[in-house]
Amino acid sequence: MKSKILRMLHESCGFVSGQELSDRLEVSRTAIWKDIKALEADGYVIEAVRNRGYRLIEEPDVLTKESCETYIDTEAIGKNLIVYDKTDSTNNRLKSIGEEGAVHGTVAVAELQEAGKGRLGRSWVAPAGAALTFSILLRPSVEPAKASMLTLAAALAVSEAIDELTGLHTQIKWPNDVVCNSKKLVGILTEMSADMDSIHYVVVGIGINVNITEFPDELKTKATSLMLETGKRVLRSSLLAEVLKKFEVCYEKFMVSGGFAVLKSDYEARLANLGRIVCVLEPGGEWRGECLGLAEDGALLVKADDGSVKSIISGEVSVRGGYGYV
């Protein structure tokens, strides 16, 4: 009920009377008062004025079920929400409850991951309380080969959500890093359980550097955060809700059309290296070429020096800018 009270306080520009809250939520005014006190204990600053009611003055940047549900406005993605204060990895949590049958769209969020995972077997470290680390469980009825396109869809959704909320102009470093001013803001790790011809579930894990003010020396030139780029704090619960909303739209488009082609032009409009020289690092060696955009299946098209156009599929291949990380 606390999230319903918060939602009503948000929706109103001024005061909401205790009577209106109790009528709409069908509970006593005493129950409302108790929940208001509980919200205050959670860090919300709520003004209470006799004969006028309650007004939200300030909200803490915490990730709780209430804070997230206040903002989430989707049909399926995030309707089942699990919030951890601390866990190993939200991807691991969803994989384990995915095995037990958790519903499509289940989202797991953590204030702190103690064993966050990155791509290519790396770890993903984010300080408690300053990052947004979460995963989405999906059960798409498409062939397993298309699962990697969901990662591209997620990168697009995150980039769109960040721009909408902050006014930044983020870009995507293929396949799935969201970058700003040539530094990484977001990492995405997708994992899948499937057999030969059907997907059991896909877990899309997203880590966003939100209110991080400092990175270790070795990352300073490569990583950034929303706080460093905008100079302002971003409320992580509202960012989560915006990402889920944008992702739901991208996911629906992907499912209805049965592929990535429908998202290709939006993705390319954000592609950091479009028309530039990129360096393709393959297990067998590295080579340079001009980035031409994406194929309909989400592969990166790179024109080699001999004029041939190669289709790069994500996996063990890394693509960097010709002259730096992006």
Decide if residue 71 touches ligand BTN (CB under 6 A). Answer: no
Name residue 254's beta-bridge partners.
none
Decide if residue 205 touches ligand BTN (CB under 6 A). Answer: yes
From the CB of 193, what's the least distance to ligand BTN, in Å?
16
Q: In the set 118, 129, 144, 259, which binds ligand BTN (CB under 6 A)?
A: 118
Whole-angstrom Cα distance, residue 185 to residue 127?
A: 14
| Angle, alpha carbons 29-80-8 (nearest 5°) | 30
Tokens linked to 99:
């095995």
Tokens linked to 263:
């998202």
From the CB of 203, what's the least distance to ligand BTN, in Å?
8
Whole-angstrom Cα distance, residue 205 to residue 191?
A: 8
- Window 220-259: residues binding ligand BTN (CB under 6 A): none
Residue nearest ligand BTN (C-beta atom): 187
- Residue 93 or 104 having the CB closest to ligand BTN: 93
- Residue 9 or 241 having the CB closest to ligand BTN: 241
Backbone phi, psi, residue 107, to 5° = -120, 135
Q: Which stretch binds ligand BTN (CB under 6 A): 64-72, 128-136, 158-166, 241-249?
A: 128-136
- Residue 193 or 265 having the CB closest to ligand BTN: 193
Q: Which stretch binds ligand BTN (CB under 6 A): 57-65, 109-117, 149-157, 303-311?
A: 109-117
Provide the terminal-to-terminal Cα distance of the chain, rounded to the nearest Å.
45
Count of residues in contact with ligand BTN, rule CB under 6 A: 20
| In the chain, alpha helices (H) | 2-11, 18-25, 29-41, 65-71, 90-99, 147-166, 226-230, 236-257, 261-268
CB atoms within 10 A of CB 19: 11
- Residue 20 or 61 having the CB closest to ligand BTN: 61
| In 221-284, alpha helices (H) | 226-230, 236-257, 261-268
Cis? peptide before 175, omega within 30° of 0: yes
CB atoms within 10 A of CB 168: 16
Decide if residue 187 touches ligand BTN (CB under 6 A). Answer: yes
Q: Which stretch binds ligand BTN (CB under 6 A): 83-91, 140-148, 280-288, 293-301?
A: 83-91
Q: In the set 161, 189, 212, 300, which binds ligand BTN (CB under 6 A)?
A: 189
Decide if residue 117 touches ligand BTN (CB under 6 A). Answer: yes
CB under 8 Å to 235, separation ≥6 — which residues? 59, 61
Q: In the set 113, 151, 170, 225, which binds ligand BTN (CB under 6 A)?
A: 113
- Residue 54 or 314 having the CB closest to ligand BTN: 314
Q: In the set 70, 106, 133, 151, which binds ligand BTN (CB under 6 A)?
A: 133
Whole-angstrom Cα distance, residue 79 to residue 268?
A: 30
Decide if residue 159 touches ligand BTN (CB under 6 A). Answer: no
- Residue 37 or 122 having the CB closest to ligand BTN: 122
Decide if residue 207 touches ligand BTN (CB under 6 A). Answer: yes
Backbone phi, psi, residue 113, to 5° = -105, 130
- Which spans of this chain sit near ligand BTN (rule: CB under 6 A)? 89-91, 113, 116-119, 122, 124, 133-135, 177, 187-189, 205-207
